Amino acid sequence: MNDRIKALYQSHILVNAKDTSHQGKLEDATHVLEAYNPMCGDQYTVSLKIVDDVIEKATFDGFGCAISKASTAVLTKQIEGKTLVEIKPFIELFHELVNELSDQSPESLTSDEDLLAFAAAREFPERKVCATLSWEELLLSLRGSMMK
Amino acid sequence: MFNPETIKQQFPIFKQKTPLGQDLVYLDNAATCQKPLAVIDRITDFYAKEYGTVGRSSYWPATETTKNYNEVRGKVQRLLNAAHEDEIVFTSGTTDAINKVANSFLRPRLNAGDVVIISEMEHHANLIPWQQICTEKGALLKVIPILDSGELDYEALESLLTNKVKLLAVTGVSNALGIKNDLLRIIKAAKGFEVPVFIDAAQSVAHSEIDVVALHCDFLVFSGHKIYGPTGVGVLFGKRERLREMAPLSYGGGIVKEVTIEAASFQQSPNKHEAGTPNIAGVIGLGAAVDFINEIGYAEISAHTKAITGYALEQLKAMEGIQVIGDVDDRAPVISFVMEGVHAHDLSTFLNEKGICIRAGHHCAQPLMHRLNLMATARISFAIYNTKADIDALIIALKETQAFLS
């Protein structure tokens, strides 16, 4: 097992992929997003409870690879408590973190280890879509009806 | 004596290392095959030494090109044991051929309430073209279901056949599972109701001898790139009377007798079905691929890929936590499996680090995956150049991945 693959799947990603703390559907969800990658079949339902423009609760349910599952788990954990205004730059930061063309070092973007683990995706551009699947869907929703 | 190592040496890609410095273990042959030097050289020589257009010009090199292009038609005719050379039409691939038959053969013959039969294991390419025309015409698309073993439910097929059925389209081999279909049985049943039969042979031609006369199918299609030839070229076999009664597959130059502003009359097939300048280099390269197959011979090819498939199955089944999908005695050189606790895409990324190429996902067969209640599988598929050493490398890497990920 070489170092770069270990880096990609390092313990943070494997641990988060198996973390069930934010799995499931919210009974009182105000918004439900469907993140789906038709190329590979990965599919997550992200449930959000948004009150007064603050995400009070976020959970997910679905199926996919370790990277997409871990990134969805991290997303749901980290957006709880954030306002809708705060979320957009947060998602943009994540995109920058996994962007192999970025001129910013991952460490200059964040010190959060759960997030930093995904910077290894810079070495695997074909897996970037796995890392960003649910984040991208949330960003699209923010640009759409959610912000109105 | 057949030796896959000497065969492998004929494929230049295996002479170089992967970007991470390993030997390339290529196990995605159901998607596309690597190319032997004979095919690459033939295409290079064509462009470098004899390039011209086909069918239109009376000067060298166009005359040479036309002769070589049409010789390939004869080679493909003999490969499929078609009765006539004019039953072979060149397309850009399997998908193109299916769309063209859907448009030119099925669409004008299909009315509201008619039926088209496909199977539950079809690649999207042999599903969506038929599905779209059925929707447009108000016709019904009926499906031969599969059994839990992965095999087609042949008894169910018999109950679907009526005189309302205007076409039966089925694959020879499941691209996702490697299940082989009993085409003789299917076609015999369909002929009982005079139903035209369309065979997707994309996964068949590289490994097994095809005889369209014995099969008695109306259409059979395959792609060049899956039989060691170039991309962008494929073959439509159609029975002479079918191709003659069909309108041109597409319209343009090279297919006409007389044209006025108001109307056009057309040549006979195959010319009538090859509008525009065709993929000449692709066809020439396809000819070299057919020669390559013939030089080895289907007996050796089938025996070797069957032996490799058997060896791989044995090794996989001996592993803990591996489930091979589809329970059949005789399969094409395609194996789908799932590793407990490890998603196929993660597995594919890990194997890539070892220089091992496998396919992960739904294999363009979503209805089949839904039927089997699977979201994704790992698929390995073999060609003439694969060796037992390739399988051994795979098994070692699978065990390492399993230890790390699950």
Structural domain that includes position A28: 3-147
Mean pLDDT on A24-49: 93
Instruction: Give the tokens for residue B112.
Output: 């509201």
**CA of A38 vs chain B CAs: smallest distance (Å):** 9
Q: pLDDT over 90 for what percent of chain A?
A: 73
Buried b (16+ CB within 10 A) or exposed e, B327-344: eeeebbbbbbbbbeebbb
Cα-to-chain-centroid distance, residue B56:
31
Q: Give bridge partners of residue A31 from the DSSP assignment.
A: A48
Q: Does B251 touch chain A if contact means CB atoms closer than 8 Å?
A: no
Q: Are residues B309 and B289 in the same domain?
A: no
CB A23 within 8 A of CB A61: yes
CB B362 within 8 A of CB A39: no
3-state helix, strand, coil in chain A (%, to 5): 55, 20, 30
Q: Ramachandran region of residue B81, left (φ > 0), alpha (ψ -120 to 50) or beta?
A: left
Q: Are residues B223 and B355 in the same domain?
A: no
The number of domains in chain A is 1
Q: What's the rounded Cα separation, in Å, for the pair B3 and A147? A: 65
Q: What's the rounded Cα separation, in Å, for the pair B229 and B206? A: 10
Q: Are residues B288 and B305 in the same domain?
A: no
Structural domain that includes position B189: 41-295
Q: Give bridge partners of residue B141 from the DSSP assignment.
A: B116
Buried b (16+ CB within 10 A) or exposed e, A113-147: ebbbbbbbbbebeebbbbbbbbbbbbbebeeeebe
Q: Does B191 touch chain A if contact means CB atoms closer than 8 Å?
A: no
**CB within 8 A of B225, min separation 6: which ones?**
B32, B33, B93, B231, B232, B233
Q: Are residues B83 and B160 in the same domain?
A: yes
Cis bond leading into B278, ω under 30°? no
Name the strand (E) or helix (H) holding B356: strand B356-357
Provide the pLDDT confidence category of residue A143 given band limits of 50, 70 and 90: confident
What pTM value is reported for the model? 0.93
The number of domains in chain B is 2
Instruction: Give the tokens for residue B205.
Output: 């031609």
Q: What's the rounded Cα separation, in Å, for the pair B68 and B50? A: 10
Q: Does B340 touch chain A if contact means CB atoms closer than 8 Å?
A: no
Q: Ramachandran region of residue A83, left (φ > 0), alpha (ψ -120 to 50) or beta?
A: beta
Interface contact flag, A5 B345, Cβ < 8 Å: no
What CATH code is carried by the domain that includes residue A25? 3.90.1010.10
List the single residue in A2, A43, A66 with the smallest CB-CB distance to B405: A66
**CB within 8 A of B352, min separation 6: which ones?**
none
Mean of per-residue pLDDT scores for chain A: 90
Residue B36 domain-assigned (yes or no): no
Statement: residue A145 has pLDDT above 70: no
Residue B35 domain-assigned (yes or no): no
Q: Are residues B121 and B264 in the same domain?
A: yes
Please classify residue B160 by burial: count the beta carbons closer than 10 Å to its beta carbon, then call 0-12 exposed, 13-18 middle and 19+ buried.
buried
Residue type at B87 in one-letter notation: E
Residue B355 domain-assigned (yes or no): yes
Residue B277 domain-assigned (yes or no): yes
Please give the residue of chain B at the shortest CA–CA distance from A125.
B349
Which of B259, B260, B231, B236 is CA-nearest to residue B249?
B236
Q: Does B361 touch chain A if contact means CB atoms closer than 8 Å?
A: yes
Interface contact flag, A9 B375, Cβ < 8 Å: no
Residue B367 domain-assigned (yes or no): yes
Please give the residue of chain A at the shortest CA–CA distance from B400.
A1
Q: Are residues B365 and B237 in the same domain?
A: no
pLDDT value of residue B405? 82
Q: What's the rounded Cα separation, in Å, for the pair B56 and A22? A: 68
CB B110 within 8 A of CB B116: yes
- Going by their DSSP bridges, the two strands B197-200 and B165-171 should be labelled as parallel
Please classify residue B271 by burial: count the beta carbons closer than 10 Å to its beta carbon, then call 0-12 exposed, 13-18 middle and 19+ buried.
middle
Residue B151 has φ and ψ, to the nearest 5°, of -75, 155
Q: Are residues B260 and B332 in the same domain?
A: no
Which of B6, B66, B64, B11 is CA-nearest to residue B39?
B11
- Going by their DSSP bridges, the two strands B322-324 and B334-339 should be labelled as antiparallel
**CB within 8 A of A29, min separation 6: which ones?**
A47, A48, A49
- Domain end residue (candidates: B247, B265, B295): B295
Q: Give bridge partners of residue B334 from the DSSP assignment.
A: B381
User: What residues of B act catalytically?
Assistant: 364
Q: Are residues B211 and B150 in the same domain?
A: yes
Q: How far apart are the first and last CA of chain B?
A: 43
Q: Are residues B335 and B277 in the same domain?
A: no
Q: Could you say which DSSP state residue B24 is in?
A: P
Residues of chain B with pLDDT under 50: none
CB B351 within 8 A of CB B379: no
pLDDT value of residue A147? 52
Residue B59 has φ and ψ, to the nearest 5°, of -115, 155
Judged by DSSP in three states, B222 sits in strand
Statement: residue A87 has pLDDT above 90: yes
- Domain end residue (candidates: B295, B328, B357): B295
Judged by DSSP in three states, B172 sits in coil
- Domain end residue (candidates: B295, B327, B361): B295
DSSP string, B98-142: HHHHIIIIIHHH--TT-EEEEETT--GGGTHHHHHHHHHHT-EEE
Q: Are residues B132 and B240 in the same domain?
A: yes
Interface contact flag, A41 B375, Cβ < 8 Å: yes
Interface contact flag, B344 A2, Cβ < 8 Å: no
List pLDDT tens digits, range A52-80: 999 999 999 999 999 999 999 999 999 99
Interface contact flag, B375 A65, Cβ < 8 Å: no
Q: What's the rounded Cα separation, in Å, for the pair B272 and B330? A: 40
pLDDT value of residue B208? 96
Instruction: Give the tokens for residue B52.
Output: 């011209």
pLDDT value of residue A10? 73
Mean pLDDT on A31-42: 90
Q: Are residues B173 and B260 in the same domain?
A: yes
Statement: residue A148 has pLDDT above 50: no
Q: What's the rounded Cα separation, in Å, for the pair B215 and B234? A: 20
Residue A6 with chain B: CB contacts under 8 Å: 404
Q: Are residues B141 and B266 in the same domain?
A: yes
Interface test with chain A among B375, B377, B400, B406, by most A beta carbons within 10 Å:
B375
What CATH code is carried by the domain that includes residue B367? 3.90.1150.10
Cα-to-chain-centroid distance, residue B229:
12
Within the 76-105 window of chain B, which residues sit less than 8 Å (CB to CB) from chain A? none
